[in-house]
Amino acid sequence: MKRNVKKIVLYLILIGISILMVGPFVWLLLSSLLPNTNVYDFPNNVRLENFSISNFTGVFEFIDFGSFILNTVLISGSSVLLNALLASLTAYPLAKLNFKGKNLVFTIIISAMIVPATAAMVVNYLTITKLGLGDTYLGVILPTSVTIINIFNMRQGFLSVPDSIRESGKMDGASEWKIFTALVMPMVKPNLAVVILFQFMASWNDFLWPMIVLNDTGKYPLSAALTMLNGQFAYNFGWVAAGTVLSIIPTLVIFVLTQDMFVDGVSGANKG
C-alpha cells in the first residue's frame, strides 16, 4: 500500500517535470500541424478538423529536403566517427599511460578550453582556404574532428577503468594496442555513447561554420538550409515550426539508440 502511494507520487513528479520540459516543444509541434489557425489562440485552435500536414509539405516543396538530409548525414556521420576515434585515442594515454609531459599536455588542452579565441572563426577559415579545403565537406568537418570536451569526457571514462585490467592484460602478454581495443574500450561504452550523442547533436545543429566554409548552397547541411525559412519574404511561422520539428527527429532517434549504450553499456559488455 505504502509502496504504491510512493510510486504514484514519483510518477506524478516525473510527469509534472515532463510537461515543463516538453511543453514548449508540444506547442511548436501543434503550431506546425495547425496551419490557418491563430497559433496564439492556444488551446482554442486545437480542433480535430484544423489538423493538416500542409506546413510539412510546404517545407518539402520550398527546400530540397532529401538532399540536405543527405549532406547532413554525411557531415554529422564523419564528424561523429572521427571524434569517437580521435577522442578515444587522445584521451587514453592521458588517463592510463605513463609518459613524460602527460600533465603538461593535459593542462594545455584544458587551458585552451578556458581562453576564448575571439577570431577563431576567421583564423580557421584562413587555414581551411590555405589547405585548399574551401567549399568542401572536409573543410567543414576537420576543425571539429576532435573536440576538447570529447577528449575530456573519454578521459573521465578511462580513469574509472581499474588499473588491474591493464595489468592482467600485460600478464597475458597482450600488446598496448590489444589491451586498449579489446579490454579497455568495451568498459568505456557509456562514455563513448555520450560522445557519439553530443557530437552528433553539435554537428547536426551547427549552421554558421558550414555556411562560412561552403559557397554552394546545394552542399549545405539541413541546419543551414533551414535558415532560408527565416527570410523576410518567405517567412511563415508554420514552416519554421515544421522545419524545427523535422530537424529534431534525427537527434532524438540517436538519443533513443545511444540510451541503451550509456545506461546499460557496462553490464552489457561484461555479459558479452
Nearer to another protein, 53 or 108 (CB): 108
3-state secondary structure of 146: coil
The three grid cell numbers given for residue 83, joined into one nine-digit string: 571524434
Out of 120, 168, 172, 178, the only residue in the binding site for another protein (CB under 8 A) is 120
- State in angstroms the smallest separation of the CB of 110 from another protein: 8
Nearer to another protein, 1 or 233 (CB): 233
Size of the site for another protein (CB under 8 A): 132
Alpha-carbon gap, residue 93 to 149, rounded angstroms: 16
Torsion sign (Cα): 210, 211, 213, 216: positive
Alpha-carbon gap, residue 75 to 156, rounded angstroms: 27
Residue 230 in the binding site for another protein (CB under 8 A): yes
- State in angstroms the smallest separation of the CB of 1 from another protein: 18
Out of 174, 183, 244, 246, the only residue in the binding site for another protein (CB under 8 A) is 244
Give the footprint of another protein on residues 75-94 (CB under 8 A).
75, 77-78, 81-82, 86-87, 89-90, 92-94
DSSP state of 45: T
Residue 52 in the binding site for another protein (CB under 8 A): no
- State in angstroms the smallest separation of the CB of 213 from another protein: 9
C-alpha angle 212-218-221 in degrees, rounded to nearest 5: 60
Give the footprint of another protein on residues 252-271 (CB under 8 A).
252, 255-256, 259, 262-267
Of 238, 252, 247, which Cα lies nearest the Cα of 220?
247
Q: Is the peptide bond before 43 cis (omega within 30 degrees of 0)?
A: yes
Residue 199 in the binding site for another protein (CB under 8 A): no
Nearer to another protein, 69 or 211 (CB): 211
Intra-chain end-to-end CA distance of the chain, in Å = 39
Interaction mask 124-143, another protein, x per CB under 8 A: xxxx-x--xxxxxxxx-xxx
Residue 168 in the binding site for another protein (CB under 8 A): no
- State in angstroms the smallest separation of the CB of 250 from another protein: 9
Out of 1, 5, 14, 104, the only residue in the binding site for another protein (CB under 8 A) is 14
Out of 8, 12, 16, 18, the only residue in the binding site for another protein (CB under 8 A) is 18
Alpha-carbon gap, residue 208 to 145, rounded angstroms: 16
Of 16, 4, 141, 122, which Cα lies nearest the Cα of 82?
141
Interaction mask 22-51, another protein, x per CB under 8 A: x-xx-xx--x---xxxxxxx----------
Q: 148-159 and 189-205 are packed helices; what angle lies between their axes, rounded to 10 degrees? A: 170
The three grid cell numbers given for residue 239, joined into one nine-digit string: 514552416
